[in-house]
Structure 1
Amino acid sequence: MDKLWAHLIEVQPAPDPWVVVVSALVAFAIVSFGMSWQLSRGLITIAHEGGHALMALATRRKLEGIRLHSDTSGVTLTRGRPNGPGMVLTALAGYLAPSLLGLAAAWLTEQGRITLLMWTVLLFLVCMLLLIRNLYGALILLATGGAVFALSMYAPDNVQQVVAMVAVWFLLFGGVRPIIELQRKRRRRQARDSDADQLARLTFLPGGFYVFFFLLVAGASVVGGAYLMNPL
């Protein structure tokens, strides 16, 4: 156990400035272009639904399961009071989760704790796998977890560092785009059961307020993550 813990908290040297910049540009390109975004958006959905699940457990709601779909949508099923703080916090957590996870990952990356970051992600994916309730969801989690495990076990440290930084930037940038897409759908009245509209029904605040709040947190996370990983 001592050896395992020492391996987990091992500190890697700081990356070269160009690695930080290039990884940010790569992640921004992935999020910006339609085809690459559609192929990778499911990773943001994993974080989104994981956020709902974590908050449901934290507020002591009964978590019945998670479903991830091939169209990159997902749903987290909980049981408990249909209103109240627990339900509000659970609905609030989804769109905030990718950005806040990205910010936490940026802090670990800045500290050089790449191995700890990857094993934390693995633990997160294993816990979600225990809660998944459809075959596609199980397959996407297994594929993602297998890729992270192979990276942590077999890739050189410099490769791990580059991939981790791209993933962190992807979470930060990828936390913003779904919120913008959500507001576009709301304007067209195509998302009447979105998290923001559910929150509007649970509270006295309009759905637009929650979209603005999601965007504010996501934007602050990008700024905070950029500050943490600033090579200068």
Structure 2
Amino acid sequence: MGGNDMRSIIAQILVLGLLFYAGPLLAQEWGDVSEEILGMTGIPEDSEADAVILFDKGTIAITLRFQLVIQRHTRIKILTERGLKYGDVSIYLGSDDEIDELRAQTILPNGKKVTLSKKDIFTKKRRSGSEKVFAIPGVEVGAVIEYAYEITSRRLTFLAPWQFQHGVFTKLSELILIIPEGFDYRAFASNAYVPDPQRESFQIADPQMGTSFVGRFVWRA
């Protein structure tokens, strides 16, 4: 399959069900970019790419207060002038959602970092919910941009779809779902093949909840 075909693929996974409990969220790296990535000028998968998503990682879990917590970290390499548009970011929030720990930065080809200021993050109202919008500062051809955030929600029954491919080629897309072991859920993939998740369980001890077994499901594409 050619690069242009890969760019047009949007694979989604939708997880349905009522979630009850989850362990601590997984830490994700920030600002650690290799010299090889900083010096990258193109990708073999798509010679005409304006940008490439180096990774898009998400973790979905439930707190002890029965809240859905979503963490996401996205990193993009800008390859052409047309790719500068990927520095403009919009994050949708439901009417009851709260966003925290929102941060973004540009890592220039020389390694210098330009950080987003909180005063440059704006809220746009929508008919249902709102959007956080911002332009990552210092974006230029050859730079790497990244942004990360955490959303807390009470919408526990239906989870938003996860896209494994976007309008530009994605090198790594990873979704981690943490739920009680034995929980009955359904996942649907559309538009492209998505491999079955890796599965494991682990034990969590909590002074109030006692000891619980938790299931961890990881999709990578």
Higher strand proportion (structure 1 or 2): 2
Higher helix share: 1
TM-score (norm 2): 0.29
Question: Structure 1 length as normaliser, TM-score?
Answer: 0.28
